[in-house]
């Protein structure tokens, strides 16, 4: 993990986040009030149903955001990385959290209190606009996923999910190994299917030579073939 920055002004993620357009004075206020923290792998940032007291800004690491289905089954709705902010949805809607956030690896996070975040949003048009962009993009992603979930077979959705993981977290130094370790169950909860189906299809993908499996390490051998399998028209 990278060293913690002393200030938001120097933060590596500053221009890579929703704060990229925030005015200097506002960044200073945020810097004064933020609280940084490290969450160990598997640790909970917040839990579905809890009241939000602010937003979290990932400085380094990886986080999953997931709903609890009515029967208790997890549905992963977002994967977050450095520069991403989370917890804003509930804050803006005035709701409680509708999802839980869990660190996928040791993760360094800054917490920005609710009133500070809201206040800056209301006085900084540039940042407010960036926030709307983030929300719009998330909404877009969610609606596309909804359509695919309704209309595409699991094989295509799994291929798409592997490519999505690649887009989000990229590769290890070797250029082919996905830079995140997810259990088969987590991948299934991302795809929206049963764990066994995911395992079976991953084996098939391996047999077809598209991927290589070594425990939780997944290598993408033939990205083009995987893309064809995902059958995306977007």
Instruction: Give whichever of 1 and 146 is closer to a copy of itself, judged by the CB atom.
Output: 146
What whole-number distance in Å separates Cα of residue 162 and Cα of residue 227? 9
| Residue 232: CB minimum distance to DNA, A | 16
What whole-number distance in Å separates Cα of residue 209 and Cα of residue 196? 20
Residue 200 engages DNA in binding (rule: CB under 7 A): yes
Residue 183 engages DNA in binding (rule: CB under 7 A): yes
φ, ψ (nearest 5 deg) of residue 191: -75, -35
What whole-number distance in Å separates Cα of residue 31 and Cα of residue 8? 5
Residue 153 engages DNA in binding (rule: CB under 7 A): yes
| Residue 226: CB minimum distance to a copy of itself, A | 16
The binder of DNA chosen from 88, 193, 211, 229 (CB under 7 A): 193
3-state SS of 69-112? CCCCCEEEEEEEECCCEECHHHHHHCCCCCCEEEECCCEEEEEE
Instruction: Give whichever of 150 and 173 is closer to DNA, judged by the CB atom.
Output: 150
Question: What would the DSSP string read from start to end of 137-161?
Answer: HHHHHHHHHHHHHHHS-HHHHHHHH
Which among a copy of itself, DNA, none contacts residue 37 (Cβ within 5 to 8 A by kind)?
Answer: none
Instruction: Give whichever of 149 and 221 is closer to a copy of itself, judged by the CB atom.
Output: 149
* Residue 78 structure tokens: 């977002």
Number of residues assigned to the chain = 234
The binder of DNA chosen from 3, 94, 175, 215 (CB under 7 A): 215
The binder of DNA chosen from 116, 118, 134, 213 (CB under 7 A): 213
Instruction: Give whichever of 103 and 230 is closer to a copy of itself, judged by the CB atom.
Output: 230
Residue 74 engages DNA in binding (rule: CB under 7 A): no
Pure H helices in the chain: 24-33, 88-93, 114-123, 125-151, 154-169, 184-191, 195-207, 223-230
Give the largest Cα separation in the chain, rounded: 56
Instruction: Give whichever of 28 and 185 is closer to DNA, judged by the CB atom.
Output: 185
Residue 147 engages DNA in binding (rule: CB under 7 A): no
The binder of DNA chosen from 115, 137, 196, 208 (CB under 7 A): 196
| Residue 56: CB minimum distance to DNA, A | 24
Interaction site with DNA (CB under 7 A)? 153-155, 183-185, 192-197, 199-200, 202-203, 213, 215-216
């Amino acid at each position: 993990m990278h060293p913690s920055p002393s200030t938001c002004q120097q933060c590596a993620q500053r221009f890579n986040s929703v704060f990229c357009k925030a005015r200097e004075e506002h960044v200073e206020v945020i810097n004064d009030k933020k609280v940084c923290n490290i969450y160990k792998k598997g640790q909970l940032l917040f839990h579905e149903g809890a009241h939000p007291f602010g937003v979290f800004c990932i400085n380094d690491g990886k986080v999953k955001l997931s709903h609890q289905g009515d029967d208790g089954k997890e549905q992963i709705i977002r994967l977050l990385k450095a520069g991403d902010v989370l917890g804003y949805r509930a804050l803006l809607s005035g709701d409680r959290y509708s999802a839980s956030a869990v660190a996928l690896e040791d993760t360094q996070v800054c917490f920005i209190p609710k009133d500070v975040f809201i206040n800056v949003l209301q006085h900084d048009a540039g940042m407010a606009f960036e926030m709307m962009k983030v929300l719009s993009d998330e909404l877009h992603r969610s609606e596309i996923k909804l359509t695919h979930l309704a209309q595409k077979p699991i094989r295509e959705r799994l291929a798409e999910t592997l490519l999505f993981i690649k887009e989000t977290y990229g590769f290890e130094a070797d250029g082919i190994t996905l830079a995140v370790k997810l259990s088969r169950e987590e991948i299934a909860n991302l795809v929206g299917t049963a764990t066994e189906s995911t395992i079976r299809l991953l084996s098939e993908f391996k047999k077809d030579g598209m991927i290589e499996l070594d425990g939780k390490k997944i290598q993408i051998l033939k990205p083009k073939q995987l893309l064809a399998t995902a059958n995306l028209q977007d």
